[in-house]
Amino acid sequence: MQPPNRQDRRSSIIRGPGVSITRVRRWLVGACLVALLPLGWRIQEVAAELQRERRATSLYSEGLTLYLQGRSPKAAHLFRQAIALAPLAADVYGDLAEAEVRQGNVDAAVHTYRRLLAIYPYTYFASLYRQLGFIELRAGRTADARADLEQAVELDPRDWHAYFLLGHAYRRLGETEAARRAWQRVLSLHPDYQPAREQIRRLDD
């Protein structure tokens, strides 16, 4: 009896006892297909996400057009739809808040900014606290405005605009010296800003 040649030995190793080359190939193909299934699902997810983003962008663009035309209620409705599709679209929140302010919906505007701050609680969003404080100041919510404007200047100590608004909040609350310090801080950051000088002059009259 002759010993098996090298080819026979390799075939027996690949096949194993009772396993044909065809079955091995079928098993490998099946394993590859199973491995590719999650990739296919992922591609579908990405395509759906891109479609949502395109729809959100379209709604936002249409909303901006209506906002500029003074049609704030319809603009706000489209902005809310855009946020529902793209919850991380920071710009949409700001414009929705402004549309709400135009309608006198201060609570809705404040809620919108706070939703955004919950999503992006980062230092470079100090301007959001300033804008929120400005809305509250305009609405007569002076104590809330002071708290948010103080947060703004803590996050960005060089935001002279936030200091200027904070000075008004302090003055309305009767905190004259705090108002003076805030406006002096404005002038240290922006020496040519005459409204801050005027406010200090009024305190001295």
Contact 56, 63 (CB under 8 A): no
- CA–CA dist 203, 180 (Å, integer): 8
Give alpha helix (H) positions in the chain. Answer: 6-15, 21-68, 72-85, 90-102, 106-119, 126-138, 142-155, 160-172, 176-189, 194-204
CA 147 to mean position of chain CA atoms: 22
Domains of the chain from N-terminus onward: 122-205 (1.25.40.10)
Whether 73 shows a pLDDT value over 60: the answer reads yes
- CA–CA dist 90, 69 (Å, integer): 22
In the block, residue with structure tokens 């091995």: 24
Tell me the per-residue pLDDT of 171-189, one tens digit each, with 9 for 90 and over: 999 999 999 999 999 999 9
DSSP codes, 83-143: HHH-TT-HHHHHHHHHHHHHTT-HHHHHHHHHHHHHH---GGGHHHHHHHHHHHHHTT-HH
Tell me the per-residue pLDDT of 97-143, one tens digit each, with 9 for 90 and over: 999 999 999 999 999 988 888 887 664 578 889 999 999 999 999 99
The model carries a pTM of: 0.65
12-16, 74-78, 87-91, 192-196: range with lowest mean pLDDT: 12-16
